[in-house]
Amino acid sequence: MQQNLVSGIQPSGRLHIGNYLGALKNHVTLQDAGAHRCFFMAVDLHSITEPYDASQKHAQVLDTLASFIAAGIDPKRSTLFVQSHVPAHSELAWILSTITPFGELSRMTQFKDKSARQEESNVALFTYPVLMAADIVLYDAVAVPVGDDQLQHLELTRTLVRKFNNRFGETLVEPQPLLTPTPRVMSLTDPLRKMSKSEPAGCLFLDDTPEDVTAKLMAAVTDSGSGITYDPENKAGIANLLTIFANVTDRSVDDLVAEYKDAKYSVFKKAIAKVAIKKFTPFRKKKAKLLAKPEALWKVATRGAKAANLVANAKLVEIKKKIGLL
């Protein structure tokens, strides 16, 4: 029997190559491998924990759904849905919050980073990882493909699963994270920081125009030396570009170093721009086509939510029985 796999992406802006190489590419590979029943969602409830424009949210959800499909997620084979269309997620989050130690949440580095950026941080930003745990355990997921910034959240999920099972009896499945070879793609403008939607200048977006891709890569921050070698400590910018190049083309870093070791940085960057444009042009076109028919996308999400609700509601009933609510 297939075991379940879950992942989510926040509808908070266009996806970048970090999202792709750290997560989305793997989502597609795992779906195509066929070993798991896959659930993928646009986690809209997570995305409203940071300042946002309500008039844009629906478009952002559609954008994320279109990105999943354009990258290769097939709604016939995977269950693709919107988190808030499955009310069990927020209900279970409340239940799980009753067994979540305050101290564990206080240690979350993403909460510390994000709350430092906000004038007044909200409670949901703090309890964000509890909702994520609910997203995962509702589907009995054994595997969760994510980038490395989510590992701490996943560790909390595992802790909550053990705690719940100890107290109420074996009920929840403990999930394992699945990382790609590039779990942390760095910013083009600051190779010591993670590429992040919150700093768009350093992002290579999957649907950037060929002109933008070229301009951003040519301007990518590197050291002032020469020679293409993989040395993340002393040549973080070049190391990041090598990693991107390797994983976009499925070639090895060694192979690329052998080919480009004496190349000028500008020649090397131009070569990456060329392969990135080739790789993501079909994505950009497909996504634009999908977004031109928002009703069709919404229909896909509605169908996905129906299937997800069946699984999630059954699990929620099981959980409520265990804790004495039913």
293 is catalytic: no
**Site residues (CB under 6 A) for ligand TRP, limited to 261-300:** none
Catalytic, 197? Answer yes
> Which one of the listed residues 25, 194, 216, 235 is annotated catalytic?
194
Using rule CB under 6 A, residue 146 touches ligand AMP: yes
Antiparallel, parallel or unpaired: β 36-42 and 79-82: parallel
226 Cβ neighbours under 8 A, 6+ residues apart: 264, 265
Count the Cβ atoms, other than its own, within 10 Å of residue 275: 14
Residue nearest to ligand TRP (CB): 8
Of residues 179-218, those binding ligand AMP (CB under 6 A): 183-185, 194-197
Instruction: Determine which one of 57, 163, 197, 286 is catalytic.
Output: 197
SS in 3 state form for 275-291? HHHHHHHHHHHHHHHHH
Residue window 3-42: x/- pattern of binding to ligand TRP, with contact defined by CB under 6 A: ---xxx-x--------------------------------
Q: Would you say the C-alpha torsion 182, 184, 190, 191 has a positive or negative sign?
A: negative
What whole-number distance in Å separates Cα of residue 164 and Cα of residue 181? 32
The reply to whether 261 belongs to the active site is no
Of the candidates 66, 6, 64, the residue with the CA atom closest to the CA atom of residue 38: 6
Q: Give the contacts of 191 (CB within 8 A, at least 6 positions apart).
A: 221, 222, 236, 237, 239, 240
276 binds, among ligand AMP, ligand TRP, none (CB under 5 to 8 A by kind): none
> Which of the stretches 54-62, 156-164, 177-185, 227-235 binds ligand AMP when contact is defined by CB under 6 A?
177-185
Q: Choose the one of ligand TRP, ligand AMP, none that binds residue 136, judging by a C-beta under 5 to 8 angstroms depending on kind.
A: ligand TRP
Quick one: 138 or 272, whose CB is closer to ligand TRP?
138
132 touches ligand TRP (CB under 6 A): yes
Integer Cα distance of 246 and 295 in angstroms: 37
Torsion of CA 43, 49, 51, 54, to 10 degrees: 50
Q: Is residue 136 at the binding interface for ligand TRP, with CB under 6 A as the rule?
A: yes
Minimum CB distance to ligand AMP smaller for 10 or for 78: 10
Query: Using the rule CB under 6 A, which residue among 4, 5, 22, 283 binds ligand AMP?
Result: 22
Residues with catalytic annotation? 114, 194, 197
User: Could you list the residues that contact ligand TRP (CB under 6 A)?
Assistant: 6-8, 10, 43, 46, 132, 135-136, 144, 146, 150, 153
